[in-house]
Amino acid sequence: MSNPRPHVGVLALQGDVREHARVLTELGADVALVRRPSELEQVDGLVIPGGESSVIDKLSRAFGMRGPVRDAVAAGLPVYGTCAGMILLADRITDGIEGQQTFGGLDVTVRRNAFGSQADSFEVDLDVPVLGDEPVHAVFIRAPLVESAGDGVERLAQLDDGRIVAVRQGALLATAFHPEVTGEHRFHRLFLDTVRSR
């Protein structure tokens, strides 16, 4: 009999790893902290947490994870990226530090720290129709922004001025904000639905 609990990993190189692991566990997933290619091979989905995208990029190369994550994304592994995770899933970034690379997979262009410094953090309620009628209370902390998205990218949420802050493309999901810190579990549920359907 197959295991009904999805086995998902959280990329545990840097960032708010514990917060994602807690939410996923509460939603009934078996959660593994992923730092090595052999651990990545064992999971049915992966979360790339918020943190510092350039640091996660450097550590992914130091740990031999960059190629395996890129390959897994290309092969259709369901992946959810929040904040820095969104940057790392983008095919293009407009203001990365010199030499910064991404895993890619999302046909989007993302701007890092689009809203300024930590002092410019803010909260807002967003309409996210795919999650139902109740708005999503979103916290933006040194958040990125999707500046442009390809035709195959579904725009899940936008600010009042039209700037895109949540997207989905195939098995990839990304938010510029941090649902894991506000008790908002619906994006993680959406991700787990994708994992189960694969």
What digits encode the pLDDT tens for the residues 125-140?
999 999 999 999 999 9
Q: Token pair of 56, please?
A: 């996660």
Phi/psi for 44 (5° steps) reads: -100, -5
pLDDT for the residue numbered 151: 96
pLDDT for the residue numbered 135: 97
Q: What is the mean pLDDT of residues 156-172?
A: 96
Q: What is the mean pLDDT of residues 30-52?
A: 97
Cα 99 from chain centre: 21
Q: What is the DSSP letter of 96?
A: P
Q: Give the residue numbers annotated as catalytic, written as ranges.
A: 83, 178, 180
Cα–Cα distance measured from residue 91 to residue 102, given in angstroms and rounded to the nearest whole number: 7
Task: Render pLDDT for 25-34 as a digit per residue (tens, 0 to 9).
Answer: 999 999 999 9
- Output 66 or 118, whichever has higher pLDDT: 66
Cα–Cα distance list, 195 to 24, 104, 171, 198 (Å) = 12, 19, 8, 5
| Banded pLDDT at 188 (limits 50, 70, 90) | very high
Q: Token pair of 148, please?
A: 């442009």
For the chain, how big is the Rg over CA atoms in Å? 15
SS3 23: helix
- Residue 47 near residue 79, CB atoms below 8 Å: yes
| Banded pLDDT at 119 (limits 50, 70, 90) | low
Lowest mean pLDDT among 46-55, 113-122, 142-151: 113-122
Residue-averaged pLDDT of the chain? 94
Cα–Cα distance measured from residue 181 to residue 12, given in angstroms and rounded to the nearest whole number: 17
Q: What percent of the chain has pLDDT over 90?
A: 85
Cα–Cα distance measured from residue 186 to residue 191, given in angstroms and rounded to the nearest whole number: 9
pLDDT for the residue numbered 121: 82
Res 1 pLDDT > 80 = no
| Banded pLDDT at 170 (limits 50, 70, 90) | very high
Phi/psi for 59 (5° steps) reads: -70, -35
Domains of the chain (ranges, CATH numbers): 7-197 (3.40.50.880)
Res 124 pLDDT > 60 = yes
pLDDT for the residue numbered 13: 97
